Amino acid sequence: MDILSYDFMQRALIVAVLISIITPLIGNIIVLKRLSSVGDALSHSGLAGVAIGLFLGANPIISAVIFSIIAALAIEGIRRSFSAYSEIATAVVLSFGVGIAAVFSGKVPNAANFNTFLFGSIVSISEFEMYVAAVLSIVVIITILILYRELFYITFDEEGAALSGVPVKTVNFIFTILTAIVVSVAARTVGSLVISSLMIIPVACSMIISKSYFTNTILSVVFAFIFTISGLFVSVVYDLKPGGTIVLIGIAVLIILIPFRRK
């Protein structure tokens, strides 16, 4: 437990706990709506925001949040234009994010800092970033709790939800903003390239054993917590990238659980 005496490790642990709660809360809805690729598109757009933020000398997490929100809104807009081929929207936004990130990554004053956002870095979380992550995470958790019934109804049956008076467009818009926030907050610790995995793998694990929507939500948070904390410690002890370590632990658990899937 000596490693917990380091300030950077305490900060990393706090942010990791928050991320392990907020990513599956969002991931649960994304997976059940069958929109798993949206996480990838937003995380790559967030990366573009990081590159631009570093280029302009602004806080990269805040610029990532702004860029991810713009990307999320763009996905919705493009999806309406190509209603029969809505997956085009995520591919276009993902490509745009990668393009911008690639162009600006060569122009950022500190390339090493940019690289920490690709695969995550526990040592690079500043105190300010920890507070930003904490505030944004609390906003996400409270909003998801308040909209729990609406999100369940929309995810299960969007038409039925609209007919029952659920403000579907407003709730979907809020959820899009929350997704963008989560992607940006998680970028620093687990890395932009593996955020969507952290959204999806805990949910995939919980879907194997859960018996209701409620238990699926709780179990996905439990799985994400176990993967994130264990991955964080393993990465520190063996000097590995935390994002990749967290995801690989998750994949290992998923492989172990698959044979137990109910028919």
DSSP string, 133-154: HHHHHHHHHHHHHHTHHHHHHH
Q: Which is nearer to other proteins, 55 or 153 (CB)?
A: 153
CA distance 146 to 191: 29
Q: Which is nearer to other proteins, 111 or 146 (CB)?
A: 146
Amino acid identity of residue 19, one-letter, is: I
Q: Which is nearer to other proteins, 161 or 185 (CB)?
A: 161
Amino acid identity of residue 54, one-letter, is: L
> In the chain, what is the straight-line distance between the N-terminal and C-terminal CA atoms, in Å?
42
| Among 112, 114, 78, 108, residue whose Cα is nearest residue 96 | 78
Q: Which is nearer to other proteins, 81 or 164 (CB)?
A: 164
Q: Which is nearer to other proteins, 2 or 211 (CB)?
A: 211
Place of tokens 């063996």: 238
> Shortest distance, CB of residue 154 to other proteins, whole angstroms?
10
CA distance 186 to 206: 21
Amino acid identity of residue 80, one-letter, is: R
Angle of CA points 89, 91, 96, to nearest 5°:
95
Interface ranges with other proteins (CB under 8 A): 32, 34, 146, 149-150, 152-153, 155-157, 159-161, 163-167, 207, 210-216
CA distance 114 to 259: 40
> Shortest distance, CB of residue 141 to other proteins, whole angstroms?
16
Q: Which is nearer to other proteins, 135 or 146 (CB)?
A: 146
Q: Which is nearer to other proteins, 106 or 160 (CB)?
A: 160
> Shortest distance, CB of residue 155 to other proteins, whole angstroms?
8
| Among 75, 53, 81, residue whose Cα is nearest residue 176 | 75
CA distance 38 to 93: 9
Angle of CA points 255, 181, 143, to nearest 5°:
95
